[in-house]
Amino acid sequence: MSTDDNAVLLHRYVTEVWDAGNPDAVERFLAPDYRRHPTALTEPFDRVEQTRRLKGFREAFPDIEIEVVDVIAGEDRVAFRSIMKGTHLGQFLGIAPTGRPVTVGLIDVIRIREGLFVEQWGGPDLFDLLQQLGATITA
């Protein structure tokens, strides 16, 4: 795929999965052997776990919106910076709904093979998100 195709694929993913509120649409974008690496120390998620994770975000923040701010596309990768906005109306990581609006930055790098995402690194700034929800972070 060309760099332009990869950028278009990313925008379609955001539109069809996030903006449309359709986590089940991930099957059109994620390869069967997809792996998501949320941190350097955690085991990667597979496609099923990623779909579950996306549904969890949608349940916790039903009005979630993703604004793609920057995209850098290569032959087999696309990196992007985006802003996630939503209202905390459902349980999230054990935190009861607060009704608080949140705005969080995301940075992701995605490797693409034959028009599908095969690996993804990064994600939302969970520390910032938890702080906005009023969570107390202790060492």
As a whole number of Å, the end-to-end CA separation of the chain is 45
Class of CATH domain 3-132? alpha beta
Residue 65, φ and ψ in degrees, nearest 5: -135, 140
Q: The pTM is what?
A: 0.89
Q: What does the pLDDT look like over 20-75, one tens digit per residue?
A: 888 788 889 999 999 999 888 889 999 999 999 999 999 999 999 999 999 999 98
Looking at the DSSP assignment, which residues form a beta bridge with residue 122? 108
Question: Of 54, 45, 10, 1, nearest to 29 (Cα)?
Answer: 10
Q: What does the pLDDT look like over 8-26, one tens digit per residue?
A: 999 999 999 988 888 788 8
The Cα–Cα gap between 28 and 78 comes to 17
